[in-house]
């Protein structure tokens, strides 16, 4: 059908037709769920105490062999201590935002910038923390091999042989390790799964999402995408959480957002920063190296 004469179409009124619609909902970047701050031995370093934090420890004593002869003195044994040092450093970045972009855009540019920067800095902390996994001495290594329940049980045995302090055990694996482990358990089936409650625990490992996944072998199981991966193998960790964990973090300054106007540029200068340090506080853990990609 031909267009009627004097029809009004968009080209006639372009001045009042928006060029596009921008949705109010802003999609965020995909980032892993932070796990390290949840399980680490974390503490705050107060002002006026320097840029490093020392974690002291007592070395093992040796009880002299045999028994003391009546009337003799006991042998003298020296008390020996050592320490691990954590050094604090600033992590962050700055961003210039023009007044024009703040005024003219349909979204709150400053708020979006701050939310994004916060998420990325926390992700950086999470990654820095789990790099410590590679420094653990005791290992359960099966390069290129899918994780099995036998591997986890072997890691638990090795941990028990360390005579490490008691505490809430955590097991952190990446998605591939978790998936292979759950598949191995389900394929074993039958009596190995035990009661309905135990079957439900195993099923919880395969649920969608990172972070806390459930409890297995009396360990709190976490999934993280920030574990170290090299040559296709991920390095998970089995250790205690919280105080005296091998994964230590100290904070000198909290996450801060600082804003400064730059009138000569008609811009706002935003700086996002946090001051922290991480270190392997002790060797009380087992790293689990299996197929992770």
User: Is the per-residue pLDDT at 44 higher than 80?
Assistant: yes
User: Is the per-residue pLDDT at 217 higher than 80?
Assistant: yes
Q: Could you tell me which residues come within 8 angstroms of residue 274 by beta carbon, excluding any fewer than 6 positions away?
A: 90, 91, 92, 121, 125, 251, 253, 254, 255, 256
How far is residue 18's CA from residue 22's CA, in Å, rounded to a whole number?
Answer: 10
* Residue 72 maps to a domain: no
| pTM of the predicted protein model | 0.88
* Residue 3 maps to a domain: no
More confident residue, 41 or 200: 41
Mean pLDDT on 254-283: 96
* Residue 194 maps to a domain: yes
What's the domain range around 266?
A: 36-51+85-291
* Residue 11 maps to a domain: no
How far is residue 247's CA from residue 37's CA, in Å, rounded to a whole number?
Answer: 9
As given in the structure block, the two tokens for residue 247 are 């994964």
Closest CA to 292 of 221, 211, 228, 215: 228
User: Is the per-residue pLDDT at 80 higher than 60?
Assistant: yes
* Residue 132 maps to a domain: yes
Question: What is residue 174's predicted lDDT score, i.e. its pLDDT?
Answer: 97
* Residue 15 maps to a domain: no
Q: Is residue 134 a contact partner of residue 287, using CB atoms and an 8 Å limit?
A: yes
* Residue 25 maps to a domain: no
The structural domain count of the chain equals: 1
* Residue 259 maps to a domain: yes
How far is residue 97's CA from residue 102's CA, in Å, rounded to a whole number?
Answer: 7
């Amino acid at each position: 059908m031909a267009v009627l004469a004097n029809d009004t179409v968009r080209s006639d009124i372009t001045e009042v037709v928006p060029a596009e619609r921008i949705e109010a909902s802003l999609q965020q970047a995909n980032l892993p769920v932070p796990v390290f701050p949840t399980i680490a031995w974390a503490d705050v370093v107060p002002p006026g105490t320097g840029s490093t934090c020392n974690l002291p420890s007592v070395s093992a004593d040796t009880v002299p062999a045999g028994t003391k002869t009546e009337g003799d003195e006991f042998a003298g044994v020296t008390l020996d201590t050592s320490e691990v040092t954590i050094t604090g450093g600033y992590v962050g970045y700055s961003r210039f935002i023009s007044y024009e972009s703040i005024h003219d855009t349909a979204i709150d540019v400053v708020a979006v910038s701050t939310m994004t920067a916060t998420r990325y800095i926390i992700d950086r902390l999470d990654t820095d923390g789990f790099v410590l996994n590679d420094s653990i001495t005791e290992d359960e290594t099966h390069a290129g091999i899918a994780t099995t329940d036998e591997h986890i049980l072997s890691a638990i045995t090795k941990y028990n042989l360390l005579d490490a302090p008691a505490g809430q055990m955590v097991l952190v694996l990446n998605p591939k390790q978790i998936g292979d482990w759950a598949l191995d358990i389900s394929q074993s089936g039958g009596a190995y799964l035990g009661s309905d409650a135990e079957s439900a625990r195993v099923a919880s490992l395969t649920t969608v999402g990172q972070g806390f996944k459930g409890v297995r072998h009396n360990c709190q199981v976490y999934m993280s995408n920030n574990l170290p991966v090299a040559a296709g193998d991920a390095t998970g960790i089995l250790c205690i959480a919280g105080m005296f964990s091998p994964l230590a973090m100290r904070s000198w300054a909290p996450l801060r957002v600082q804003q400064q106007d730059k009138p000569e540029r008609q811009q706002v200068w935003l700086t996002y920063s946090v001051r922290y340090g991480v270190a392997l506080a002790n060797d009380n853990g087992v790293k689990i190296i299996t197929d992770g990609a």
